[in-house]
């Protein structure tokens, strides 16, 4: 079967997927021009160590897309770091009590891009957050991902960042 005909499925990530998720994180930063090739190993190792702790504890939720060809291969992933927030106004009479979901590591292998993988991952991720009644969802969009996130209802905010040396 040609890759263009191959179907994928999205499933929750497990600890056994950590090495691929960590590699994807480094590749994502490399693709955005934010990580030099000689720094990839360090970020991959640190990410894997974090995920091995954070996935079992529930601090980090993740999903992977894998092709359905045998043997199945992970072709993309997306995750959410759950973090507590202070209570804040949530619109109307509602209060937001948290947690806040920070979407991270949305990445699709080059040969699988523009085939709906990232959209499927994001729809799954957002549905899971909705089931948990998590209403505050934030992310930092790359130029390549911005269109998808806008289609999903994400909008720019007033966030600012202090860059320190």
E-state strands within the chain:
8-12, 60-67, 74-83, 88-89, 95-96, 100-108, 136-139
How far apart CA 99 and CA 133 sit, in angstroms, is 9
pLDDT digits (tens, 9 = 90+) for 61-103: 999 999 998 788 999 999 999 999 999 888 888 888 989 999 9
Closest CA relative to residue 103, chosen from 68, 71, 60: 60
88-89 and 95-96 as β-strands: parallel, antiparallel, unpaired?
antiparallel
Model pLDDT for residues 107-141, shown as the tens digit of each residue: 999 999 999 999 999 999 999 999 999 989 999 99
Between 101 and 163, where is the model more confident? 101
- Domains of the chain (ranges; CATH) run 3-13+59-151 (3.40.630.30)
157 vs 105 pLDDT, higher one: 105
Over residues 9-37, mean pLDDT: 96
What pLDDT was estimated at residue 140?
Answer: 93
Average pLDDT over every residue of 11-37: 96
pLDDT at 1 exceeding the cut of 70: no
Query: Is residue 5's pLDDT more than 70?
Result: no
Beta bridge partners of 137: 101
Q: Is 162 helix (H, G, I), strand (E, B) or coil?
A: coil
């Amino acid at each position: 079967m040609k890759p263009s005909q191959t179907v994928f499925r999205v499933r929750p990530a497990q600890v056994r997927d950590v090495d691929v998720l960590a590699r994807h994180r480094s590749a994502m930063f490399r693709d955005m021009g934010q990580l030099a090739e000689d720094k990839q190993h360090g970020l991959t190792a640190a990410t894997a160590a974090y995920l091995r702790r954070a996935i079992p504890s529930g601090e980090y939720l993740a999903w992977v897309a894998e092709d359905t060809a045998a043997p199945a291969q992970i072709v993309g992933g997306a995750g959410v770091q759950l973090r507590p927030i202070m209570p804040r106004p949530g619109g109307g009479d509602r209060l937001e009590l948290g947690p806040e979901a920070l979407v991270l590591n949305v990445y699709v292998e080059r040969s699988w891009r523009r085939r709906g993988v990232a959209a499927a991952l994001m729809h799954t991720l957002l549905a899971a957050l909705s089931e948990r009644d998590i209403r505050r969802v934030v992310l930092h969009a790359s130029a390549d991902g911005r269109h998808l996130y806008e289609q999903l209802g994400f909008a720019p905010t007033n966030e600012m960042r202090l860059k320190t040396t």
